[in-house]
Chains A and B, each alone.
Chain A
Amino acid sequence: MVSINDLGFSYGNKLVLKNITMTLEEGRIYGLLGENGVGKTTLLSILCGLKKPSAGSVLTDGRKPFDREPALLTEQYYLSDDNASVHMKAVEYAKNYGKFWEKFEISKFLELMEIFETDPQQMMDRMSTGQLKKTYICFALACNTRYLYMDEPTNGLDIPSKAQFRKALAKYTREDSVVLISTHQVRDLENIIDPIIILDRQDVLLNATLQEISEKLYFDYSSEVKEGALYSELIPGGCIQVFNNTTGQESKVSIEALFNTAHKHKELIKNVFSK
């Protein structure tokens, strides 16, 4: 479990995160959403131990990530948005570095590379951005870690690879793992991420499961425009509207509409979900 308490972080005088408090529980794939510059990557960097919090604390299984202890490092993997291109074959990279993660499986890495249709014998510094990203995704999943932090994992992936990513994530992550995915490409991960965390400037607007969201908000997909919608948007064949769920009716959550609703009614959404 990851406990974040009153977390604060600033770059010099520029405050990025303030009083962030939340808990990330096992067996879930969290989607971390937010506008550009709200601190999603910073939060991921703090969670994995690349940055030190300016205030508050982060504890993963009771350990501080910034201490970078092997016991915790072997249980986590951080997949950055910007991957390093090294002068090594993908399979050599996996063998050379995978051995440091206690539960790393080379067979799983090769299996995943096949699923992603990427040649493990290819030199990593000759790969395209998408191929390199897929190689690192395969490596991340083959590490079998309990904590997996991914920053924009579908950026640079082609359409088939995005579907392969969803399948691989669902199939190859451990049941007890905590996966946190920061993304702007919500449609790529619509059916995968649950719960959803929406980060705002120095605040968490929402941290709720899809079930909780659908209990509190109603997503209407009819073509009829109704009054009282918190958010509405025309889509091909009709429109999508978000309402306060006063009747308890269930609906399918549209993450993009949810994000736009939260963006438009920050205080309201925060109040609704903080209850």
Chain B
Amino acid sequence: METNNIFSFRRFGKYLVSDLKRCIANFGLSFLVISLTGLVCYLLVGVISYVSGAGWVSSNALARSLYLWIAFAILVVAMPNKCYGFITDRKLGSNWLMLPVSTVEKFLSMLINCLVIIPSAFFLCSFAIDWLITALDPQLHSTIIGSGMELFDVIVAKAAEESEVNALLTNFITENNIIFSAIDDSMILILAFLLGAILFKSQKATKTILAWFGIGTLLSIILTPVAIMFVGNYDLAVNALNSGDIEAVTTFAQDFISSAMKFDTIFDVTLLLGMEAAIFMRLKTIKH
């Protein structure tokens, strides 16, 4: 039977499992430690406050969500390098390149592991630990997720009470927007560190951060005029504000948010696709 050189479901399935096993072997222990960061921070705060005589102080949902984001930031920086940084190593990388699996399959498996499986497992573990902490600690009444939703509702209600403009603006910012934006931005960051892991031979995370700042500065210089064009006419807004025409301000604000969100989506999708293309090309052309 003719071998499919681009994609075969059977081969991909086998490779995905084998690749995930390798990721677990390389990153499993670190993953466990990172996933337990929230619990460790919670215990640390409690123990320190207890020892200092203030009694047991339980970290509230806001503090615990901060621990969660710190842990996630560590995961984003460490995971791509631990899972795929070996590709630039001559010995390990050569073995990997010579594996009879197509570049498309290796690339897709890399994306699935780094963008879906490992982050999902991390959030699942973290939320489960948070749920457990909340269930066992009588001082706590709400999990991170529960508190986040409550907080969102409070902000929206408060904004609506304050002014008509605020109420209109909050209509654009839904829970879905926030979740989508967080996922989107996280994916971009993971891909950036993944690209750094397979591009640089040493000091991968540091070089990635430096390159990120460098490219970010360059992009902001290039894209600021484009963004202004996209977002709308400031003069109209200033005139509307000066004249005290609430309707005109509201219209401008609606247009502004809608355009800004469109621009952000286009920019993020372009960035995602660009980085994916760069990762694929690197895998296709890497030499040892």
Contact = CB atoms under 8 A, between A and B. Distances in A.
A87 B98 contact: no
Nearest to A145: B100
A129 to B, nearest CB: 12
B158 interface: no
B140 interface: no
B92 A84 contact: yes
By size class, the interface of chain B is 20 to 34
Given A70-B11, A71-B3, A80 B91 contact: yes
A84 B3 contact: no
Nearest to B284: A68
A69 B104 CA distance: 10
Interface stretch (B14-22, B115-123, B125-133, B249-257): B14-22
Given A71-B3, A83-B91, A100-B11, A45 B288 contact: yes
Given A45-B288, A50-B288, A52-B287, A82 B101 contact: no
B65 to A, nearest CB: 35
Contacts of B99: 73, 97, 100
Nearest to A51: B287
A97 B92 contact: no
A87 B26 CA distance: 9
Interface in B165-208: none
B100 A100 contact: yes
| Most chain A CB inside 10 Å of its own CB: which residue of B5, B21, B25, B285 | B5
A175 B5 CA distance: 26
A87 B100 contact: no
Contacts of A71: 2-3, 5
Interface in B71-114: 89-92, 94-95, 97-103
Given A71-B5, A82-B90, A48 B21 contact: no
Given A50-B97, A69-B5, A70-B102, A87 B91 contact: no
A231 B95 CA distance: 41
A73 B288 contact: no
Given A77-B98, A80-B94, A83-B91, A68 B103 contact: yes
By size class, the interface of chain A is 20 to 34
B91 A50 contact: no
Contacts of B92: 84, 86
A69 B8 CA distance: 12
A100 B99 CA distance: 7
Given A45-B288, A52-B287, A100-B14, A74 B94 contact: no
Nearest to B288: A50
A88 B98 CA distance: 19
B87 to A, nearest CB: 12
A101 interface: yes
Interface string A99-133: 11110000000000000000000000000000000
Interface in A73-96: 73-74, 76-78, 80, 82-84, 86-88, 96
A49 interface: yes
14 contacts: A45-B288, A51-B288, A52-B287, A68-B103, A80-B94, A84-B91, A84-B92, A84-B94, A96-B18, A96-B21, A96-B22, A100-B15, A100-B100, A102-B100
Interface of A: 45, 48-52, 68-71, 73-74, 76-78, 80, 82-84, 86-88, 96-97, 99-102
Given A83-B91, A100-B14, 15 more contacts: A49-B98, A50-B98, A51-B287, A52-B285, A71-B5, A73-B98, A74-B3, A74-B100, A84-B91, A84-B94, A86-B92, A96-B21, A97-B95, A99-B14, A102-B100
The 6 closest A-B pairs by CB, nearest first: A73-B100, A84-B91, A74-B100, A71-B3, A69-B5, A84-B92
